[in-house]
Structure 1
Amino acid sequence: MGISYATPYRPPQPAVSPWTRARMTWTAKGVTWPLTTPASGVFLMPGVRGLGSISSERHSTSSPAVAGSRFEGVSVHDRGVFWPVHLFHDAGSEAWVELDRAFWQGMDPEDTGVWEILHPDGSRRSLRLRFQDDGDHTTTFDPVRYGWQTYGINLIAEQPFWEGDPVVRSWKNPVYAPFFEPNGPHLFNIGSGADVSTAAIDNPGDVESYARWFIDGETTDASVGVDGLVARVPFPVPAGKCLVIDSDPARIGAIMYDVVPGAPSKPSERVIGVDMVNPVDRTPDLGEADFPPIPAGAMVALSLSLAGAGEVEALLPTLYRRPW
């Protein structure tokens, strides 16, 4: 009788589902709350508003002599947000009260929090919200006794566009080095591939956006801008300092900081107040600065100049009409 051996049968692995859930969080007062995980005790229920598109108003002019009207532009309104949010705790009355109290500390009309959604590919979009009211909440039972309550919370996004992962680019003057060792034959030079003369940036968002510029010393003169419209920095930025220029019309300004030893080398990764300290307002020194936005949907050539061994970095927020 012969014996034959064969590889044992292995059943196929179950197929991985291509579907997942949207994961959302709310961060306020330094505390992050999961909003799509019921086991956390805080989660959104059906009926959420604010995940749609923007609300806008069309402006136009008309004349009795011309049919129809002429489009003059659009005003984008605040984004209204409504959360039907459920809070529960099954460890007792005291635990529920502590959970409810901690959550509501973040609903401060004089402060803002961040509503964030994580996409399946790992990218994120967020919306900064301010608490409005709880819709004149009516309590029909004792939540302390039962350990749960559902609220209808109204919030407002004063900046109505969802903000995605920012685009960060940096440039400096080319630093040339010989291709061979100093003692060898000098055939040609290799320079930096990201120098100011070829600076460009992409805005993948839906609408134009204003960059935050970081100028790291040592520089004696610099300018930043788009398509020939520039803001000139007519003063030096010494080594060990960083000038932060915010070009958003709502927050326009220029602040000089001392860079703490050991801080991240990329200016956009530094934390103001931790890695950059001793702020000095240099806004008046810029004079009549012109800060054009970066248009959406294309690679845009920048107008940069830099005198010195320093570096200029741009952090461009990406703004979208919808959360995904």
Structure 2
Amino acid sequence: MGISYATPYTPPQPAVSPWTRTKMTWTAKGVTWPLTDPASGLFLMPGVRGLGSVTTERHATTSPAVAGSRHEGISVLDRSVFWPVHIYHDEGSEAWIKRDRAFWEGMDPGDTGVWTIFHPGGGVTRSLRLRFRDDGDHTVTYDPARYGWQTYGINFVAERPHWEGNPVVASWKNPDYLPFFETTGPHLFNISSGADIQLATIDNPGDAESFASWFIDGEASEAAVGINGDVAHVPFPVPAGKCLVIESDPDRIGAIQYDVSPAQLELDQDERKKPSERIIGVDLINPVDRTADLGEADFPPIPPGAKVKLSLSLEGTGTVEARLPTLYRRPW
């Protein structure tokens, strides 16, 4: 009688599904709530509105001599958002009331929260900043504390109608300074070229024009930032160890100069946070408003497209960094 040996049968691994659920969150008053996880005790039900494209109004002119109308442009209208939200708790009346109360503390019409959608695969998000409007004159038909659940219809308006995606961050500096010694003396001069600055471009992958936040990280004796020759000049120096933050968005336009915190300056150059990553009040301290010193600054938006040519200049060894929000008509 013979005995044969063989490799044990290994069943194939089950196929990994290419499908997944969309993850959404709501952040208000410093608290983040999952919106698509029923196990959390709070989730969105069918009937959500606000996930479509922007709504526009067409502007046109007519003439008796021309058939139809002439397109003159569009305006993007407010985005209304509606959430059917279900809140429940299985551990009793007191636990349900605490959860319900905590969620509604974020529904403050005098404040805003952020609705975020996470794209499959991770790393990519789009978000809307929302302001609570009302609960649709909510009607209670049973005692929610008795049953531990309640469904609400919540109305919001977006502060801006476009969805904001991951920002584009880019930085530029002059090439390393080249030492030059006079032939007749020991005087050292620094000769720099602005080649890198002069060739600066940025990508705007969004659907709409966007205004950048500019960070001028000293040392810079003077600088200018803009696009297509339309620039804002910085007519004052930004010393080493300081950072000038220029907001070009018309809603919050201004220029604040900060000290970079000693904790950041003590790190090696490659370990420091990027200027756009620094936290105000922690990494950027001692703010000084320099808005008036910019004079009549004009900050043009950056249109959508790849390798949009910028108009930058920088005198010194510092850097210029741009943080550009990306704006989309739809959430994915």
TM-score of the pair, normalised by structure 2: 0.91
Partner of 2:59: 59
Q: Distance in 2 between matches of 1:166 and 1:194?
A: 25
Deviation at 1:64, TM superposition (A): 1.2
Partner of 1:130: 131
Are residues 38 and 177 of structure 1, via their aligned partners in 2, closer, same or farther at CA, if it must alter by over 3 Å?
A: farther
Partner of 2:21: 21
Bigger drift between 307-316 and 276-285 goes to 276-285
Partner of 1:33: 33
Matched, 1:280 2:288: yes
Matches within 5 A, 1:1-324: 1-122=1-122, 123-175=124-176, 195-263=196-264, 264-324=272-332
Q: Is the 8 A contact 1:172 1:194 kept in 2?
A: no
Q: Distance in 2 between matches of 1:194 and 1:99?
A: 58
Q: Is the 8 A contact 1:82 1:153 kept in 2?
A: yes
Partner of 1:185: none
Question: Which letter maps to 1:279?
Answer: P
Deviation at 1:281, TM superposition (A): 1.2
Encode CA deviations 1:54-92: one digit per residue, 9 max, x unaligned: 011000111112111111111111100000000001111
Q: Unpaired segments of 5 or more residues in structure 2?
A: 180-191, 265-271
Encode CA deviations 1:83-121: one digit per residue, 9 max, x unaligned: 000000111111111101100000000100000000002
Encode CA deviations 1:266-311: one digit per residue, 9 max, x unaligned: 0111111221122111111111112111111222111110011111
Q: Unpaired segments of 5 or more residues in structure 1?
A: 179-190
| Aligned residue pairs, count | 312
Bigger drift between 136-145 and 297-306 goes to 297-306
Q: Distance in 2 between matches of 1:95 and 1:147?
A: 8
Q: CA RMSD in A?
A: 1.7
Q: Is the 8 A contact 1:225 1:302 kept in 2?
A: yes
Q: Is the 8 A contact 2:212 2:325 kept in 1?
A: yes
Q: Distance in 2 between matches of 1:318 and 1:121?
A: 19
Question: Which letter maps to 1:66?
Answer: V
Q: Secondary structure of 1:171's partner?
A: strand
Question: Which letter maps to 1:255?
Answer: I
TM-score of the pair, normalised by structure 1: 0.93
Are residues 138 and 153 of structure 1, via their aligned partners in 2, closer, same or farther at CA, if it must alter by over 3 Å?
A: same
Deviation at 1:192, TM superposition (A): 11
Displaced runs of 4 or more, over 3 A: 191-194
Deviation at 1:3, TM superposition (A): 3.0
Q: Distance in 1 between matches of 2:125 and 2:273?
A: 24
Question: Which letter maps to 2:303?
Answer: P
Q: Secondary structure of 1:262's partner?
A: helix
Question: Which letter maps to 1:231?
Answer: A
Q: Distance in 1 between matches of 2:227 and 2:164?
A: 22
Q: Distance in 2 between matches of 1:72 and 1:298?
A: 26
Q: Distance in 1 between matches of 2:195 and 2:33?
A: 40
Q: Distance in 2 between matches of 1:194 and 1:20?
A: 47
Q: Distance in 2 between matches of 1:216 and 1:23?
A: 37
Deviation at 1:242, TM superposition (A): 0.7
Partner of 1:181: none
Encode CA deviations 1:114-167: one digit per residue, 9 max, x unaligned: 000000021100000000000000000001111110000000102010000000
Question: Which letter maps to 1:201?
Answer: I
Question: Which letter maps to 1:283?
Answer: T
Q: Distance in 2 between matches of 1:14 and 1:192?
A: 59
Q: Distance in 2 between matches of 1:7 and 1:177?
A: 68
